[in-house]
Amino acid sequence: MLSKLPVFMARFLPQRPALPGTPPAALEEQLGGQGHPAFRVGQILDWVYRKRVRRFEDMTNLPRGLREWLEANYTLEPAREALVKRSSDVTEKLLLEMEDRALVETVLIRYPQRGVGAEESRKTICVSSQVGCAYGCRFCASGLAGWKRDLTAGEIVGQFLHVCYIEDARALTDNQGSPGRRASSDDPVPFDNVVFMGMGEPLANYEAVVAAIRCLNAPWGLGFGARRITLSTSGLVPQIRRLADEGLQIRLAVSLHGATNPVRDAIMPINRKYPLEELIPAIEDFSGKNGRLVTLEYILIEDVNDFLEQAHALAGIAARLRAHVNLIPYNSVEGLTWKRPNIKRQQTFARVLREARVSHTIRKEKGHDIDAACGQLRLRTEKDRAVAAG
């Protein structure tokens, strides 16, 4: 509804906090203040995370007064759909609009499994943590438009739920059930992996991201295994060290993209603040405490970081960290002149890692034709909005 209001009106609407992501203790306190018994909290959480209804009025075992109070004080859908783009392969890119009209991207990627139908394919969702990004990496569309604001925990959880709504509706259509309602409270979450690789730097929005991960993981929330959650960071050293002490069993991916300081400095301004000699020990600390192997992400950009000298340095870092390396052929970004190296150059680079016995993959692309790289769909839509507004 909000998206249909003129821009100037939407700006003045009071923004309600999101119910998704609110910890049960906080909810219990607020409901207690309204004279409602504590067991209502469990009922509400069941509607939000298990049955996954999209309107308070559908929470039929709650008294009408409570449903009305919830409606007046919370939003159930902090992230509403503004646009969906399907690519010719198996990726769906959602552009979600927050209550203040901020736009963020959430991507659903299906990895088909040999010999099974589309519904059994493995599904990964890629979520955003901020509107834009302040870190200005030279290859990245999110960095180009700058940072607008952090997302709240509810807005991050809203992205997980939105993908659930889409997949739930699809499953119901397939089973010819009634639309908008799940068949059973015991149905699992309809995706297999979550990656924080959308717009923004998750560790720069630390509290909200950790709260959203706890809600995703908690039995009272979506009950999703921490081991299937990956957080990707450009390398904020103090926050990596703090995350190591959170006791979360999540995986860490680090966007390296340069294996020596001069090359990394030229691509990622963050490296001047936290150079490799600080970053590498912090990653070591994380994997030592958390017991999980770390992934190093490395975008291959022609004549910028795809030299063999970089491949050897990368092999050395990965061997020290016992890390897996994910080589990502660069996705061209509107307004940037860099290119991806041809297949032969990619393979020559990868051969150095193979010869050093470093575990690695070259990422097979999903959704290139729908601007799958971080921030690109939003950037284009913001530009279209600006043109439309004159």
Q: Under the rule (CB under 6 A), what is the footprint of ligand SF4?
A: 133, 135-137, 140, 142-143, 200-201, 234, 255, 374
201 near ligand SAH, judged by CB under 6 A: yes
CB of 206 to ligand SAH, least distance (A): 13
Where helices occur in the chain by DSSP H, the ranges are: 7-12, 24-33, 39-45, 64-73, 141-144, 153-175, 206-217, 237-244, 261-267, 270-273, 276-290, 308-321, 343-355, 376-388
CB of 232 to ligand SF4, least distance (A): 7
144 near ligand SAH, judged by CB under 6 A: no
159 near ligand SAH, judged by CB under 6 A: no
Judge whether 374 counts as a catalytic residue.
Answer: yes
CB of 181 to ligand SF4, least distance (A): 37
300 near ligand SAH, judged by CB under 6 A: no
305 near ligand SAH, judged by CB under 6 A: no
Across 19-44, b (16+ Cβ under 10 Å) vs e yields bbbbebeebbebbeeeebeeebbeeb
Which amino acid type is present at position 252? L
CB of 13 to ligand SAH, least distance (A): 30
Residue 331 interacts, among ligand SF4, ligand SAH, none and using kind-specific CB cut-offs from 5 to 8 Å, with ligand SAH
Q: How far is CA 119 from the centre of its chain?
A: 22
Q: Which of 126, 164, 215, 374 is catalytic?
A: 374
Toward ligand SF4, which CB reaches closer, 20 or 132? 132
Q: Which of 97, 105, 155, 167 is catalytic?
A: 105
Q: What is d(CA 259, CA 318) in angstroms, rounded to the nearest whole number?
A: 10
Look up residue 185 and give its two tokens. Answer: 């409270």
Torsion sign (Cα): 288, 289, 291, 296: negative
333 near ligand SAH, judged by CB under 6 A: yes
Q: Mention every residue, 6+ apart, whose C-beta is less than 8 A from residue 361.
A: 324, 325, 326, 327
Q: Which of residues 242-261 bind ligand SAH (CB under 6 A)?
A: 255
Check: CB of residue 365 under 8 Å from CB of residue 373: no
Q: What is d(CA 39, CA 329) in angstroms, rounded to the nearest whole number?
A: 51
Residue 279 interacts, among ligand SAH, ligand SF4, none and using kind-specific CB cut-offs from 5 to 8 Å, with none
Q: What is d(CA 258, CA 262) in angstroms, rounded to the nearest whole number?
A: 8
Check: CB of residue 250 under 8 Å from CB of residue 230: yes
Toward ligand SAH, which CB reaches closer, 201 or 306? 201
Measured at the alpha carbon of residue 200, what is the angle toward residues 17 and 123, in degrees to the nearest 5?
85
Stretch that binds ligand SAH, among 91-99, 112-120, 229-237, 312-320 (CB under 6 A): 229-237
Selected binder of ligand SAH within 47, 49, 74, 139 (CB under 6 A)? 139
Cβ burial, residue 82 (10 Å; 0-12/13-18/19+): middle
140 near ligand SAH, judged by CB under 6 A: yes
Q: What is d(CA 137, CA 143) in angstroms, rounded to the nearest whole number?
A: 6
Toward ligand SF4, which CB reaches closer, 203 or 318? 203
Toward ligand SF4, which CB reaches closer, 48 or 327? 327
**What does each C-alpha distance from 232 to 158, 182, 238, 249, 275 come to in angstroms?**
19, 32, 15, 14, 17
Judge whether 105 counts as a catalytic residue.
Answer: yes
Give the residue nearest to ligand SF4 (CB): 143
Q: Which of residues 25-84 bind ligand SAH (CB under 6 A)?
A: none
CB of 341 to ligand SF4, least distance (A): 19
Which amino acid type is present at position 157? V
Toward ligand SAH, which CB reaches closer, 41 or 304? 304
Please list the active-site residues: 105, 374
Site for ligand SAH, rule CB under 6 A: 139-140, 197, 201, 232-234, 255, 297, 299, 328, 330-331, 333, 373-374
